[in-house]
Amino acid sequence: MTITKAYRSGWKKVWGNKKLWGLLYLLNFVFALLSTIPFRGFLKESLGNTLATSRMLDGFDYAFLTDFMREYGNGISVILNLSLGIILLYFIFSIFWMGGILNILKNEDETYSFQKFWQGSAFYFWKLLRLTFYFFIVHIFVLGVFALIFLRKGVSPFELDSEIEIINSILITVPIYLFFATIIAMIQDYAKAHILHHDTTFITRPIKNAIQFTFKNFRKCLGLYLLNLLTFLAFFGIYWILSNSFKSDTTATIVLLFFIGQAFIIARIAIKLLNIGSAISLYQSKN
C-alpha cells in the first residue's frame, strides 16, 4: 500500500465514522466543561460587577492579569488543580476509549456501533494502559538522554564562550530529539495495530513486532506520519488565521471565535482518528 492510499483509507475511516468522531468530541467538550463551569462562576463572582471585565476585552493586559492572579490567585489555583485532575482523568479515559476507536477503525467499511465501541474499550484497556505506560517511560528516557546531551557543555557563563553555543546546541539536539520522538510515536501506533490483530497476553511482542514493522517500512511509516502531521499543521494554520483575523470584543465575535475554536477541536479529533486509521490500514496491507 502506498502512503497516499493509506492516508486516503484513513480519511475514509474518519468520514465513515462520524458518530465516533462526534462522540469523542462530545466527551472532550463535557470533560472540559467540568472545569470551565467553576471557572466561569469564579470569574463572574470576582469580576462580574466590575469595569475590569470590559477592560479585559482589549486583549492581554499585564496590569489586570497580575492584579487578578495576586488578589484572586487562591481561587484560580483551586481551579487549575481541578483542571489538572480532569486532564489526567481524561487521559485515563482516553486510554480506555482508544480500545473502542481501534475496534471501530479496524476495517475501512466498519461503521460505528455503540456496543462495539464500548466492547473494544473494555477489551483492550489493560493492554493499552500497559503500552502507554511503557512508551511513556521510553519517552521520558529519550528526553532525559537528549537533555543530558544538550547540557553536556552546561549553560553557565563560566563554561561557555557565548550563547551562540546554546543556540547551536538547541538547533542540533531538538530536531534529532523530535526525529527520535517521532519514531517512538510511530512504533507505538503500529504496536496498537498489532494488538488489534494478535491477541497476545504480553505486550512485549507487539512492541517488538512494531519495531520490526516500522524499520522494515520506515520510509512509508515516516511519510505517512509526516503527512498526518502536515494535515494537523494545515488545520492549525487555518485556525490561527481565522482566529486572528478579528478582535473578539463583542458577544457576536466571541461566539464566532467559540465556533472557530470548536471546529479546530473537531478537526483535531478527526486527525487523531486519521492517524490511527491510516496506520492500521498500512499495517494491514503488509500483514
Partner 1 sequence: MKYRYFFLFSTLLFFNFQSAENEPLSPRIANYDMEIKLDTEKKHLIAHTKLVWKNPSADTIRDLQFHLYYNAFKNTESTFFKERGMPSIFKKALEEECEWSWVDIKNMKDQDGNDLTVKMHYYQPDDDNTADQSVLRVPLPKPVMPYESIEVDFDWVAKIPKTMVRTGYNKDFYFMAQWFPKVGVYEPAGMRFAEKGGWNCHQYHSSGEYYSDFGNYKVSMNVPENFIVASSGLPTNEPQNNNDGTKTWTFKVDDVIDFAWGTSPHFVENKMNWKGVEIKLFTYPEHVHFKERYFDILPKTFDYFEEYFEKYPYPSLTIIAPPFHGIFTGGMEYPTLITTLNNCLLPSGIRSTEILTIHEFVHQYFQQMVATNEQEEAWMDEGITNFYEGQVMDMIYGEKTSTIDFMGIRAGNAEMDRATFHGMKNPAIAPNSLNSWEFPEGSYHTIQYSKSAVWLNTLKRIVGTETFNEIMNTYFLRWKFKHPCAKDFVNVVNEVVAKNHPDQFSEGMDFFFQQVLYGTEICDYTIRSLGNNPKSSASGIFDDPEDCEQSEPILDADGNTIYKSFVGVERLGNMVLPVEVLVQFDDGSEVLEKWDGDETIYYFFYEGTKQIVCAEVDPQHKLFLDKNFINNSFTTKPNPTGVRKYVNQFLFWMQNAMEGLSILI
Among positions 66-105, residues that touch partner 1 (CB under 8 A) are: 66-68, 70-72, 83, 86-87, 90-91, 94-95, 98
Indicate which single residue of 169, 173, 182, 248 sits in contact with partner 1 (rule: CB under 8 A).
Answer: 248
What's the length of the chain? 287
Closest to 52 in 3D by CA, of 38, 32, 66, 41: 66
Residue placing its CB nearer to partner 1 in the complex, 69 or 216: 69
Q: How far is the CB of 109 from partner 1 (least distance, A)?
A: 25
The answer to the question of residue 238 lying near partner 1 (CB under 8 A) is: no
- Give the shortest CB-2-to-partner 1 separation in angstroms: 25
> What is the nearest approach in angstroms of partner 1 to the Cβ of residue 218?
21
Of residues 4 and 226, the one with the C-beta less far from partner 1: 226
Name the amino acid, one letter, at 28.
Answer: N
* Binding segment (CB under 8 A) for partner 1, from list 110-118, 143-151, 197-205, 254-262: 254-262
Q: Does 230 bind partner 1 (CB under 8 A)?
A: no
Looking at the Cβ atoms of 1 and 221, the one nearer to partner 1 is: 221
Asked if residues 143 and 174 have their Cβ atoms less than 8 Å apart, the reply is no
Q: Quick one: 115 or 162, whose CB is closer to partner 1?
A: 162
Q: Which of residues 11-70 bind partner 1 (CB under 8 A)?
A: 28-29, 31-33, 35-36, 39-40, 43-44, 46-57, 59-64, 66-68, 70
Please, which contacts does 16-20 make with residues 24 or more away whose CB atoms are closer than 8 Å? 16/108, 16/109, 16/110, 16/111, 17/104, 17/105, 17/110, 17/111, 17/112, 17/273, 18/112, 19/112, 20/100, 20/101, 20/104, 20/112, 20/117, 20/273
Q: Is 241 in the site for partner 1 (CB under 8 A)?
A: no
Residues 140-159 that bind partner 1 (CB under 8 A): 156-158
Instruction: Give the shortest CB-186-to-partner 1 separation in angstroms.
Output: 12
C-alpha cell at 268: 483535531
Q: In this structure, which amino acid lies at residue 22?
A: G
> Please, which residues have CB within 8 angstroms of residue 49's CB and are 6 or more apart in sequence?
none
CB 284 within 8 A of CB 13: no
Residue 190 contacts residue 213 (beta carbons within 8 Å): yes
Report H helices in the chain: 3-16, 18-47, 52-56, 62-105, 114-151, 163-197, 204-216, 218-243, 251-286
Nearer to partner 1, 182 or 284 (CB): 182
- Give me the least distance between CB of 64 and partner 1, in Å please: 7
The interface with partner 1 within residues 185-214 (CB under 8 A) comprises 185
